Amino acid sequence: MAEIKAFKGLRFTKKAGDYDTLTCPPYDIISETERLAYLEKNPNNIIRLELPGGNEPYKTAGEILEKQISDGILKKDDNEAIYIYEEEFTVKGVTKKISGIIAAVHLEEFEKGIVLPHEFTLSKAKTDRFNLMKATSCNFSQIYSLYNDDEKSCTKIIEKYLSTAPEIEMTDEAGLIHRLWSITDKDITQKLSELFGDKKLYIADGHHRYETALNYRNDCREKGICKEGGSRDYVMMMLVDMAHEGLVVFPTHRLVRDLEGFDRNEIIGKCRDYFDIEEFDDLSNAEEQLSTLYSQNKKAFGFYTGGNNYTCLTLKNTDILKKLLPEMSLASQELDVTVLHTLILERIMGIDKKNMANQINLTYVKAFEDVTENVRQGKGQCAFILNPTRVSEIRDVAAAGEKMPQKSTYFYPKLITGLVMNQF
- Please report the DSSP string for 191-219 in residue order: HHHHHGGG--EEEEE-HHHHHHHHHHHHH
Question: Whose CA is closest to 167, among 180, 154, 185, 156?
Answer: 180
Per-residue pLDDT for 347 more than 70? yes
Cβ neighbours for 376, distance < 8 A, ≥ 6 positions apart:
306
Q: What is the pLDDT of residues 307-320, one digit of tens each?
A: 999 999 999 999 99
Phi, psi values for residue 4, rounded to 5°? -125, 155
Can you tell me the distance from the alpha carbon of 161 to that of 219, in angstroms, rounded to the nearest whole number? 38
The domains located in the chain, with CATH, are 4-248+412-423 (no CATH), 252-387 (3.30.1760)
Question: What is the percentage of the chain residues whose pLDDT exceeds 90?
Answer: 90
Can you tell me the distance from the alpha carbon of 318 to that of 298, in angstroms, rounded to the nearest whole number? 10
Cβ neighbours for 176, distance < 8 A, ≥ 6 positions apart:
87, 88, 89, 413, 416
Whole-number pLDDT of residue 122: 61
| Cis peptide bond N-terminal to 117, omega within 30 | no
Whole-number pLDDT of residue 337: 96
The residue ranges of DSSP E strands in 208-361, in sequence order, are: 234-241, 248-250, 253-256, 275-280, 300-304, 310-315
Whole-number pLDDT of residue 15: 98
Residue 131 burial class via C-beta count within 10 angstroms: exposed 0-12, middle 13-18, buried 19 and up: middle
CB–CB of 210/201 below 8 Å? no
Whole-number pLDDT of residue 121: 63
Average of per-residue pLDDT across 167-173: 96
Residue 233 burial class via C-beta count within 10 angstroms: exposed 0-12, middle 13-18, buried 19 and up: buried
Q: What is the pLDDT of residues 105-164, one digit of tens each?
A: 999 999 999 999 887 766 567 889 999 999 999 999 999 999 999 999 999 999 999 999
Can you tell me the distance from the alpha carbon of 148 to that of 152, in angstroms, rounded to the nearest whole number? 9
Q: What angle do CA 401, 404, 405 make, to 5 degrees?
A: 145
Can you tell me the distance from the alpha carbon of 374 to that of 3, in angstroms, rounded to the nearest whole number? 45
The residue ranges of DSSP E strands in 325-395, in sequence order, are: 362-365, 382-385
Whole-number pLDDT of residue 210: 95
Per-residue pLDDT for 302 more than 90? yes
Whole-number pLDDT of residue 373: 98
Q: What is the pLDDT of residues 228-283, one digit of tens each?
A: 999 999 999 999 999 999 999 999 999 999 999 999 999 999 999 999 999 999 99
The pTM of the full predicted model, rounded to 2 decimals, is 0.91
Can you tell me the distance from the alpha carbon of 58 to that of 179, in angstroms, rounded to the nearest whole number? 30
Cβ neighbours for 112, distance < 8 A, ≥ 6 positions apart:
none
Whole-number pLDDT of residue 407: 85
Whole-number pLDDT of residue 124: 65
Average of per-residue pLDDT across 284-289: 96
Whole-number pLDDT of residue 358: 86
Per-residue pLDDT for 399 more than 90? no
Whole-number pLDDT of residue 112: 95
Q: What is the pLDDT of residues 180-239, one digit of tens each?
A: 999 999 999 999 999 999 999 999 999 889 999 999 999 999 999 998 999 999 999 999
CB–CB of 407/162 below 8 Å? no
Whole-number pLDDT of residue 92: 87
Q: How many other C-beta atoms can be found within 10 angstroms of the C-beta atom of residue 304?
A: 25
Least confident of 63-72, 199-208, 267-276, 335-344: 199-208
Cβ neighbours for 29, distance < 8 A, ≥ 6 positions apart:
414
Can you tell me the distance from the alpha carbon of 33 to that of 39, in angstroms, rounded to the nearest whole number? 10
Whole-number pLDDT of residue 120: 72
